[in-house]
Amino acid sequence: MTKILMVDDDKLVTDLLQKLLKSEGYETIAVNDSTKAIEVAKAELPDLILLDLMMPQPDGFRVCRMLREDPAFTLTPIIIVTALDDGDSRAVAFGAGATDYLTKPFHPGELNDKIIEALER
């Protein structure tokens, strides 16, 4: 079963994502504190990471960079799921190592399509 780590400081968002992803057959792990994201990722070794950008320090851009600096996560897909819908945020996120970028709100099928596509790469 594919294991997905969700990192978002909003518990309502991770609860919603967990319900959505579990209905698609994924195993989920939620982290609502960005300071614990790397530690949980190392312990759980997820197949894919969903990462919000707008969080208290470290923000999602920094968490993405930190994950990419760790050899265990150089190939792990990281999909940014955020309300930031500007070109600069997209550019910085991809520069930090993001695999894909999805803006909130989104259609549930769109998220699943992006997950499938990222896992097939």
Residue 75 identity (one-letter amino acid): L
**Structural tokens at position 95:** 């520069």
CB atoms within 10 A of CB 59: 14
DSSP state at residue 33:
-
Nearest alpha-carbon partner for 65 in 47, 44, 51: 51
Q: Which residues pair with 103 in a beta bridge?
A: 82
**Structural tokens at position 17:** 């994502």
pLDDT (0 to 100) of residue 108: 87
pTM over 0.85? The answer is yes
Q: Left (φ > 0), alpha (ψ -120 to 50) or beta: where does 102 sit?
A: beta
Within 13 A of 63's CA, how many CA atoms are on the CB side?
32
Q: Return the domain boundaries, the chain.
A: 3-120
**Structural tokens at position 91:** 């550019």
| Chain segment 62-105, per-residue pLDDT in tens | 999 999 999 999 999 999 999 999 999 999 999 999 999 999 99
Fold classification of 3-120 is Rossmann fold (3.40.50)
| Chain segment 2-52, per-residue pLDDT in tens | 999 999 999 999 999 999 999 999 999 999 999 999 999 999 999 999 999
pLDDT (0 to 100) of residue 101: 98
**Structural tokens at position 107:** 């259609």
What whole-number distance in Å separates Cα of residue 46 and Cα of residue 28?
Answer: 9
